[in-house]
A and B are shown apart, each in its own frame.
Chain A
Amino acid sequence: MSEENGMSRRMMLVKLGIFLNAIVGAVLAMPIVRFLFSPVTREKKFGYESWLSLGGLEQFPAGQTRLATYRNPVTNSWDGETADIACWVRNVDGQTFQVFAINCAHLGCPVRWFPQSSLFLCPCHGGAYYQDGSRASGPPERGLFQYNHKIEDGKIFIKAGEMPTPGRAANTQSGGATCA
Chain B
Amino acid sequence: MNFLHGITLLLIYQLVGELSVLVLRIPIPGPVLGMVLLLLTLLWRGSSSASLDTSSTALLSHLSLLFVPAGVGMMVHLDQITHEWLPITITLLLSTVITMMTTAAIMLAVSRLLSRGSKKND
Q: Are A and B co-members of a single complex?
A: no
Question: A residues bordering B, Cβ < 8 Å?
Answer: none
